[in-house]
A and B are shown apart, each in its own frame.
Chain A
Amino acid sequence: QVQLQESGPGLVKPSQTLSLTCTVSGGSISSGSYYWSWIRQPAGKGLEWIGRIYTSGSTNYNPSLKSRVTISVDTSKNQFSLKLSSVTAADTAVYYCARDVKYYDILTGWGGTDAFDIWGQGTMVTVSS
């Protein structure tokens, strides 16, 4: 079955760029049925959607983070990546990658996104000098 695994540095200095990679195994990231998202969770707090990418490279970002976020995809490696620039202590969190199911209403022709059906185990990133 499909599995997701996050990887990257666990410690990032303030003002630097946080970089994480999510490796997809057991399935192809090029499947047209899914988007690939990043979600984060500060300790003791709720979930925050960061952004997503489609196999074509098309991206969408949370408006509150848009100016600092870049998500990219490498289909040859079956990976997608997150870069978050100018980090502060407020960016300290567990970062998850997740598969986001596309939704399409065949009757109306409307499309959107459904649920995050598969998640990585998460990786803790601390922003500190």
Chain B
Amino acid sequence: QSALTQPASVSGSPGQSITISCTGTSSDVGSYNLVSWYQQHPGKAPKLMIYEVSKRPSGVSNRFSGSKSGNTASLTISGLQAEDEADYYCCSYAGSSTLKVFGGGTKLTVL
């Protein structure tokens, strides 16, 4: 059982927007603005898409955005494209003892 809770799957049609939630606790997501999101295509290593809740690394499309409210972080992908179909994982800093916790992952299907 993962420390952060994500929906197992979400889907959307090309051009639409989808949002993936990531629910933690007041010990991780709720306490730190250090939530990151990763995209993983089959057989590939994860790729950083969002860091510090809402910042995009250089080279990541502005169709990807992040936000946080309380103990829940969210990843929104707008203008869905076929290449967005992948697994998405959230991760949060969780204090000096546990340090890092991941969500269980969400499979995005582009219909």
A residues neighboring B (CB under 8 Å): 37, 46-49, 52, 60, 62-63, 96, 100-101, 103, 112-117, 119-122
Contact = CB atoms under 8 A, between A and B. Distances in A.
Interface stretch (B9-17, B73-81, B100-108): B100-108
11 contacts: A47-B38, A47-B91, A47-B102, A49-B91, A62-B100, A101-B51, A114-B93, A115-B36, A115-B51, A119-B46, A120-B45
Interface residues of B, number: 25
Contacts of B100: 37, 49, 62, 100, 113
A96 B46 CA distance: 9
A63 B2 CA distance: 14
Interface of B: 2, 32, 34, 36, 38, 44-48, 51-52, 57, 89, 91, 93, 97-105
